[in-house]
Amino acid sequence: MEQSEAQKWAEETIRLFVEEIRKRKIRDTGELEASFKAVITMRGVDLHSAKISYAIQGLFTKLGVGKGQRFDEKKDNAVLNSLAGRKTRKGKNWSSKVWKEQITNLLQQLYHENLNRAKSEIDGSVSPRFEMNF
């Protein structure tokens, strides 16, 4: 996978994340949308790593915690909160679907690229004729 292809994959992944954030109406300040960054590392012509980062606020949003609602309190007090009629934040899982689709997409691209590379190496080294002598 070339650097440009990997960069396109990362840009598309970020675009899908932002789309999912907007679809779920998580845009309070726009900080999460603006925080996405991609770093692609190559080893020669091969993709070595692809890293996408975002503000920690995205994790809090996903878990439904923050601003006075701690994760451990939310879990431990779930029954008490419901009995007391207190509203608790519901997490908005904005990232799992995109990760699953995009990682699958990347792995398929890498698989086909490596398969084609192996096939061309084998094609050059194997004789086109097949003989069987008895």
Angle of CA points 50, 60, 13, to nearest 5°: 30
Q: Under a CB-based contact definition with an 8 Å cutoff, are residues 89 and 65 in contact? A: yes
- The DSSP secondary-structure symbol of 40 reads E
Instruction: Tell me the C-alpha distance between 98 and 80, whole Å.
Output: 34
* Amino acid at position 27, single letter: R
Band of residue 8 on the pLDDT scale cut at 50, 70, 90:
very high
Band of residue 126 on the pLDDT scale cut at 50, 70, 90:
low
Average pLDDT of the segment spanning 112-132: 76
pLDDT tens-digit series, residues 57-84: 888 788 777 666 655 555 556 566 666 6
Domain layout of the chain by residue ranges:
3-123
Q: Under a CB-based contact definition with an 8 Å cutoff, are residues 7 and 38 in contact? A: yes
Over 90: is that where the pLDDT of 14 sits?
A: yes
